[in-house]
Amino acid sequence: MNTNRYPKALETIQTPFYYYDTDLLRRTLACIKSYESSYEGFCVHYAIKANANPKLLKIIQEYGLGVDCVSGGEIQASIDAGFDPSKIVFAGVAKSDWEIELGLAHNILCFNVESIPELEVINQIATDKNKTANVCLRINPEVGAHTHTNIATGRAEDKFGISMEDMEKVIHLTQTLSNIHFMGLHFHIGSQILDMSDFEALCRRINDLQDQLEQQNVKIEIINVGGGLGVDYDSPESNDMADFESYFNTYHRLLRLRQGQSLHFELGRAVVAQCGSLITKTLYVKEGNQRKFVMVDAGMTDLIRPALYQAHHKIVNISSEAETTDTYDVVGPICESSDVFDTDVTLPTTRRGDLIAILSAGAYGEAMASRYNCRPFAKGYTSDDLC
């Protein structure tokens, strides 16, 4: 057992389960906070969609981050975890009436709005409740991100946001709606972005849009640049922290904030990905005609990223003491041929009962789990639980 990273107590827990290293989470949060406090006007929200495990939320909340929510359930989970509602932003392409009501009831910081019909419904509900809804408009900046096509969102053909052409028209509409207070602009170009030139392109686009709006005397209080900072899925053990320095520096250097404006970030993956591992047990080692399979008890129901996005997660055998290695396909027990975690993985010679860790699984792992095949949800344990 690699006891430097994994406590021995893991051996006694029913697999599969998520294991979260809270020291790493705390170091990550401390790093984010240090940039937030050194750059004036920067406010970081946690994109709770990445992982809403209450144990992690409690820690993230202690560091004073705001939250980025995309559903009423996420707003409720944030409130339950003790986050300050005045630091909640609420995005999402199609918000239900009850979700809008919940946001208004908690006086959240703002709704990130994506269409005219949505704006009108928020105004109507706010009027009925005798409230004013703070609103940022999500603009599609037509900035392509160098990432998997399923998680790029800021291109002209994507479904998200209001086009730049319509932006002024929609801002003027907000000014005619009695119970809407227009606060600013929201963007998000995609996820798992490692190339800072994508964020640079977004900064330049925002500068142009701000110049344009300034000429129209439109007052902008908030710029929200979304999330998207990627992590190192190939070498998570040696590189367990996202490149926050380059990321925040890029915005500090390039984005021209006006007096009194605040710059908001919605980071999900970069906060929680590296602190989480999916721990699973080897059920069988099967020798096929051409390939050897390590068949584990976790499946795509527990971690869907490899099946859905061909995402790569590093896989390690944490219990073997074998001195020889072999090459395996690591597969799950679900009746789907896409239930494969990775192919051609070099592991110590693996036997039934060996514990396997699938790394960098803290973001969009537990949060995207399903109960397909009537499988129970994998539980989440933290290093604090096991001390």
Binding residues for ligand LLP, rule: CB under 6 A, are 47, 50, 68, 91, 151, 188, 191-192, 226-229, 266-270, 305, 309, 364
**Amino acid letter at 307?**
A
Residue closer to ligand LLP, measured from CB, 313 or 350: 313
Residue closer to ligand LLP, measured from CB, 170 or 189: 189
Check if the beta carbon of residue 160 is closer than 8 Å to that of residue 93. Answer: yes
Q: State the nearest-atom distance from the C-beta of 293 to ligand LLP, in Å.
A: 25
Residue closer to ligand LLP, measured from CB, 305 or 375: 305
Residue closer to ligand LLP, measured from CB, 266 or 302: 266
- CA dist 133 and 126 (Å) reads 6
Q: State the nearest-atom distance from the C-beta of 153 to ligand LLP, in Å.
A: 6
Residue closer to ligand LLP, measured from CB, 152 or 218: 152
Q: State the nearest-atom distance from the C-beta of 19 to ligand LLP, in Å.
A: 19
Q: Strands 17-20 and 88-90: what pairing?
A: unpaired
- CA dist 100 and 30 (Å) reads 32
- CA dist 85 and 226 (Å) reads 18
Check if the beta carbon of residue 113 is closer than 8 Å to that of residue 119. Answer: yes
Q: State the nearest-atom distance from the C-beta of 325 to ligand LLP, in Å.
A: 29
Q: State the nearest-atom distance from the C-beta of 9 to ligand LLP, in Å.
A: 29
Question: DSSP secondary structure string, 246-277?
Answer: HHHHHHHHH--PPTT-EEEEEESHHHHGGGEE
Residues in the chain: 387
Cβ partners under 8 Å of residue 27, min gap 6:
241
Residue closer to ligand LLP, measured from CB, 47 or 139: 47
Q: State the nearest-atom distance from the C-beta of 302 to ligand LLP, in Å.
A: 13
Q: Strands 17-20 and 276-287: what pairing?
A: antiparallel
Provide the token pair at 313.
């997660």
